[in-house]
Amino acid sequence: MTVLLDEPISVAYGQFYVVSYLDDNPEPIEAFAGQVNGLCGAQTPGGLFLVTGRHDGDVPLRVELLDGPPPEDGWEEIVEVPFTPVTADVNLMTWFEEEYPLTGLEAGVSYRVRFCGRGMDAANRIIRGPQDGEIVDSYLLAFWPAPAEPDRILRRTSAIAGYWHDKGFRRHG
């Protein structure tokens, strides 16, 4: 296992991104088009659009590069998506354009990505910023080489994750 990032990141509007191209961040409607999960949009080539329970503030995030899937223990929300970087320059980006290099992910390699969260409902009740410095939510983003498969929801427990899975950025019509 290689840890690519293990620190709080700042989210705004409950969003952060993984990008492997020079254009702008993924657009949410495009990123989630045709998916069953609403937490990790993977339909933009070379990009991921990720959703947290917290609207604004810092969230603890760990990003790992693995040989296979991580254990599901302790996570309340778990989704998986396919991801293939289109360049070797892969970065985690925040709404505020903070950039965290994800060194080790290779262009053209097919990865499976597991996005896990806990405490999303408690974090969603916080309007702005930290509440007494208490960390209420945390996230894991794990990558491992694997053939592309459709996205799927492995665990769904919180109301806010349910909202994003059922409605979120979906087109209506």
Tens digits of residue pLDDT in 82-108:
999 999 999 999 988 899 999 999 999
pLDDT of residue 173: 36
- So what's the pLDDT on residue 115? 98
Q: For the segment 49-90, what is each residue's pLDDT rounded down to a tens digit?
A: 999 999 888 999 999 999 999 888 889 999 999 999 999 999
Q: What is the pLDDT of residue 131?
A: 54
**Cβ-Cβ contacts under 8 Å for 126 (sequence gap 6 or more):** 54, 55, 57, 136
Domain boundaries, the chain: 2-166
Q: Per-residue pLDDT for 22 more than 70?
A: no
* pTM score, whole prediction: 0.93
pLDDT at 18 over 70: yes
Report pLDDT digits (tens) over 98-151: 999 999 999 999 999 999 999 999 999 886 555 556 678 999 999 999 999 999
SS3 per residue for the chain? CEEEEEEEEEEECCEEEEECCCCCCCCHHHHHCCCCCCCEECCCCCEEEEECCCCCEEEEEEEEECCCCCCCCCCCEEEEEEECCCCCCCEEEECCCCEEECCCCCCCCCEEEEEEEECHHHHHCCCCCCECCECCCEEEEEEEECCCCCCEEEECCCHHHHHHHHCCCCCCC
Q: What pLDDT sits at residue 25?
A: 78
Fold designation for 2-166 = Substrate Binding Domain Of DNAk; Chain A, domain 1 (2.60.34)
Q: In what order do the strands lie in the sheet with 99-101?
A: 40-41, 47-51, 15-19, 91-94, 99-101
